[in-house]
């Protein structure tokens, strides 16, 4: 019985460790993470390594409609790579719904690109989470992932400014405060 508790504790520690930011661009000083230095936060709208985003992709949404990424140029695009089975993704999606409600009229468009779910799973998921933004079918679309990657895991959120510049990428779970701050800097 003692070994079961030790194993559970090690597993919990490993899970906690894996959810910590692995890349410097993920560091933010928030009330929930006061140990991070304030100077690790960049207030610039775009990272120093910003580059033009490849928006020359046509995808299908969960309703079978054709969506051209280039049609969103002129708006701030929050492109989220996710899946229905992804726990951190399920935490972020309600926050994206709120952000789309709050900033949609200001020029924000949230796009969710499901990396490996068929349409049959997307519709019930969208209903359950009351998703108010386009859910795109990314199953088999490695070309899209490569264009915005590398995508080593999910969730990954890509920020594209009104001029079509890929300004930021966030790998892993992002707080609503972090996403909102980055969006407002771009609007």
Q: Is 46 an annotated catalytic residue?
A: no
DSSP E strand boundaries for 46-187? 51-52, 58-60, 66-68, 76-82, 108-114, 135-137, 156-160, 165-171
> How many whole angstroms separate alpha carbon 49 and alpha carbon 102?
29
Task: Identify whether 86 is a catalytic site residue.
Answer: yes
Exactly one of 46, 78, 83, 89 is catalytic; which is it?
Answer: 89
Task: Provide the 3-class DSSP secondary structure of residue 111.
Answer: strand
Of the residues 53, 62, 77, 86, only one is catalytic, namely 86
SS3 category, 166: strand
The neighbouring-strand residues paired with 160 are: 77, 166
Active site residues: 86, 89
């Amino acid at each position: 019985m003692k070994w079961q508790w030790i194993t559970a504790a090690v597993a919990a520690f490993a899970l906690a460790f894996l959810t910590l930011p692995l890349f410097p661009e993920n560091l933010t000083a928030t009330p929930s993470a006061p140990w991070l230095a304030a100077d690790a936060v960049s207030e610039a709208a775009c990272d120093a390594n910003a580059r033009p985003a490849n928006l020359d992709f046509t995808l299908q949404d969960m309703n079978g409609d054709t969506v051209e990424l280039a049609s969103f140029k002129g708006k701030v695009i929050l492109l989220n790579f996710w899946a229905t089975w992804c726990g951190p993704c399920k935490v972020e999606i309600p926050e994206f719904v709120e952000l789309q409600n709050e900033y949609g009229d200001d020029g924000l468009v949230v796009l969710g690109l499901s990396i490996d779910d068929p349409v049959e799973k997307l519709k019930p998921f969208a209903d359950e989470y009351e998703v108010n933004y386009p859910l795109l079918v990314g199953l088999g679309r490695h070309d899209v992932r490569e264009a915005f990657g590398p995508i080593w895991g999910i969730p990954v959120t890509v920020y594209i400014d009104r001029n079509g510049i890929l300004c930021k990428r966030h790998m892993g779970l992002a707080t609503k405060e972090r996403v909102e701050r980055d969006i407002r800097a771009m609007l």
